[in-house]
Amino acid sequence: MVNGKSARLSVLLFFVVFFGCGRVPKGILSEKEMEAVLTDMLKAEAWIGLEPTVYRNDTVKAMVYESVFHKYNISREIYDTSLVWYGRNIDVYLQVCEQVLTNLEKQINSDSS
What does the H/E/C string look like for 93-105? HHHHHHHHHHHHH
Which of 15-19, 40-44, 82-86 shows the lowest mean pLDDT across its residues? 15-19
Question: Is 10 part of a structural domain of the chain?
Answer: no
Question: Is 5 part of a structural domain of the chain?
Answer: no
Report the number of distinct structural domains present in the chain.
1
- Do residues 40 and 68 touch, judged by C-beta distance below 8 A? yes
55 versus 84: the higher-pLDDT residue is 84
C-alpha 77/C-alpha 75 separation (Å) is 5
Question: Is 9 part of a structural domain of the chain?
Answer: no
- Do residues 70 and 18 touch, judged by C-beta distance below 8 A? no
Q: Is the pLDDT of residue 14 over 90?
A: no
Question: Is 98 part of a structural domain of the chain?
Answer: yes
What pLDDT is stored for residue 55 in this prediction? 87
7-22 average pLDDT score: 41
Rounded to two decimals, what is the model's pTM? Answer: 0.76
Question: Is 1 part of a structural domain of the chain?
Answer: no
